[in-house]
Amino acid sequence: MHSGSSKTLSSIALIVALFAIALLIPVLERVTTAVVQQIQFGGDPQLSPIYLSLKTGQIFSCFSAMVLGLAVSVLLLARRRDQAAALVLARLAICLVICGLSIYWMLGFSHLNVWRP
């Protein structure tokens, strides 16, 4: 019985980590766009702004908070049950969510961004 719950918790941790990766993909796309535009336009942010939506940022932050909450819950359960695989995946998800949030908002408040409604 313990093995079944171990696989279940590891599966849930994997799903949470995949959600964290899915949240990170659009952020990496925006960063890539910003870098490419800076290279194309010689580093002048007036000629090559990227556009982020404040509403999208709020929705992204809410989804990130939900995934972070799930990851922390899985982390606590994995610690209690001493399940290494779930523990690693939960930590990975936490790191990815925090990195994604940090990158999005740093890019949003940088001189490269122009906010859209």
In the chain, where do the E strands start and end? 50-53, 113-116
DSSP 81-113: HT-HHHHHHHHHHHHHHHHHHHHHHHHHTSTTE
Residues 37-49 have pLDDT tens digits of 888 887 676 777 8
Any idea where the domains of the chain sit in the sequence?
2-116
pLDDT category, 23, cuts 50, 70, 90?
A: very high
| 2 pLDDT more than 60 | no
Q: At what angle do helices 2-40 and 54-81 cross, to 10 degrees?
A: 150
- 59, 67, 57: which is closest to 93 by C-alpha? 67
For the question of whether the overall pTM of this predicted structure is more than 0.85, the answer is yes
